[in-house]
Every structure is written in C-alpha cells, then in structure tokens.
Structure 1
Amino acid sequence: MKISRRELRVLLLHEFRLGRKATEATSNIYGTMGKDVLSIRATQHWFNRFKNGNFELDDLPRSGRPLEVDTDVLKQLIKEDPRLTTRCLAERRGYSHTAVEKHLSELGKTSKYGVWIPHDLSPHQFQHRVDACMELMTSHRNYQWLRNLITGDEK
C-alpha cells in the first residue's frame, strides 16, 4: 500500500501526541506500513519539529527548477524551431539542461546537423540494413575465409 508524505506525517504527529519516542514511533509504523516507508532519522527530524512547536505537515514551497518537465511544451518548441539547443530549451522553460536531454531522448528525438528529428528509420533505410546483414551472414557461410588467412613471423 502506497502512503503519501502527508499521511505519514499525520501518523508521526499522532505518535508524538501520544507521548512516544521517535524509535518507538518508527517501530510502530514499521509494523503497520513496512520498513521501506520511513527511516529513524526522518522520524527524529519530524519529532524535533513538533517539539519546537512547528506542526505544519505540508512541504514548504522551495525555489529552484521545477521537477516536472512538460513534454508537450518541449514538442511544441521543437516543432516551432527544430534548431534550438538543449540549453536554449532549458533556459526558455526554466528546466535543467540534463532534464531536457533526458526527456528529448525519451521522446525519441536526436540531434542531427543541429536539428531535432525523430530517431526512426525510413522503410528504405531499414530494408537496406536488413539486406546488408543477410549478405554478410550468407557470405560468411559460403566463403572459406580461414584458408586465406595469412600468418607471419618476425624472422
């Protein structure tokens, strides 16, 4: 069962108000939710906040780059100007450079000659690759290449 951060913090506040210690609260939550839900250090952190009178359970807004990248906006920007670099795309939307690269590769886009294009083969290119592979495989079977191997010695 997946539990949200806020629900977990409500459980911690409940344990705090019952007068339990952080380790005891952690073991109680482990018993009901599992060990991968919470660490003892996180429980200690929240118990310290509760002791200081801070009972705010939601995350405070933070500055910085957004974690989510809107792929539809990236598609639209590339459609408008396919010559944009990943750094330009990142600056325009306020994303990190690496996040833009990651999402473009997930979209199947590669940069060829400064233009973002889909990394798909045309049917002709695909057939050409299949033909080349088949030719190499059949020629290897028919050709006795080991007899023509020349070895030499330094003398």
Structure 2
Amino acid sequence: MEKIEHRAVIKFLTKQGKSAQIIFQELLAVYGDSAPGKTMVYKWHGLFKQGRESIEDDPRSGRPIEATTSEIVEKVEKLVLEDTRWKKKQLAAMIGVSETSILNILHDHLGMTKVSARWVPRMLTPLQKRERVECSRQFLELCGERKEEIMARIVTGDESWVHHYEPESSKSRCSGIKKAHLLQRSTK
C-alpha cells in the first residue's frame, strides 16, 4: 500500500508543477527510510508529466502470481497419494501449473520430500493426520459420560517416528538379475 501512497503524492506534486528533485527531497523529508528511491521518483514523475493518470501497476501477461489454490493442492495431494512415483514435470502437466508451483505445493503445503524417486511425507501425511483425528473421535465416543475419569488415567508421552526405507537401486536390481541368471546357467 505504501507504494501506491507514494505514487499518489508524486502525481499530486507533479500536477502542482514541482520538479522531480524537489518531490524526491519532500518524500525523503516526510517518509524517511521508507521513502521511494530517487530512480523510482524520477520514473513516476516522468510518466505523470507525460499524461499518465493511473497510479496502479500496468497489467502483465503470463501466469498468475498465485497458482496454489486449495483445489490445486487437493488435486496434487490426491495424485501423489495414489502414486508416489510421479515426477514434478508430469504433475505440472496434469494439473496445468508450473513445476515451481508443484514443488511449492509438495514441500510447503503437503510437507513432502523426494526420496529415491518417491514423494515421502516429512512428517505425518494429511491422510495419517485425518486417521488420527478419526481415531480420537471414536475413542471419545467410547468414553461416553466418563471422559474425565478415563482421561485422568491415560499416560501420554512424546513420540518420535523413525522411518527406515531402503529402496532397491537399479544397480542392485540388475546385479541380482545377473546373479540369478548365472546360478541358472551353472545348475544346467
């Protein structure tokens, strides 16, 4: 909003016939460190002097700035949970957003990282979180009227999850096939 405010002041002072240098000095005196730079003041002063009326940025072509809507996040989540081997390029083509947006969704919104050609959640997946909430609701329903009594008897603790995942590499897979082939030849 500050940017628009500065432009409005520049426009007003330009229409009063003040020079770009004087406008810059006045903005600096009033706004201090948050004043626009000298180049910006001269640019907008020139534009307003040439007859520009709008203080808004001109519309730009290209993709919209924000492509990560909740619908797109849900689509990406559904696809990745169905098959963790999708590549970002494939996901981007299917959804119709940039690869950068796909990475942003996977990392920041879904909390996933790529581990050996699979998207693996860094923490609990949204599906696991939903399952925990559902289990908790069912437990509370089972408690019925004795919730406080039962809750007082529960021992809780901090939990740490350690995931161990050793994917079979293509080299080891090939060497295993070669060993099996050699064993077959030696037994004949």
- TM-score scaled to structure 2, two decimals? 0.55
Number of equivalenced pairs:
126
Does the CA contact (< 8 Å) of 1:69 and 1:100 recur in 2? Answer: no
Runs of 4+ in 1 over 6 A off after TM superposition: none
77, 80, 89: which is aligned to 1:87?
A: 89
**1:42-80: CA deviations, max 9, x gaps?**
111111111211112112211112222325234211232
Greater helix content? 2
> Which residue of structure 2 lines up, in the alignment, with residue 59 of structure 1?
57
- 1:118 alignment partner in structure 2: 121
Q: Which has the higher contact order (CA 8 A, sep 6+)?
A: 1
In the alignment, what sits opposite 1:9? 7
List runs of 5+ in structure 2 lacking aligned partners.
129-158, 165-188
Please show how residues 30-109 of structure 1 align to structure 2 within 5 Å. Answer: 30-82=28-80, 83=83, 84-92=86-94, 95-107=97-109, 108-109=111-112
Contact 1:74 1:89 in 2 (8 A): no
Q: Percent identity?
A: 24
Q: Give the deviation of 1:125 after TM superposition.
A: 4.2
Unaligned runs of 5+ in 1: 129-155
TM-score (norm 1): 0.64
Output one character per residue of 1:123-146: Cα deviation in whole Å (capped at 9) or x when no partner: 674399xxxxxxxxxxxxxxxxxx
CA contact (8 A) 1:65 1:94 kept: no
Q: C-alpha distance in 2, partners of 1:127/1:68? A: 34
- RMSD (Å), alpha carbons: 2.9
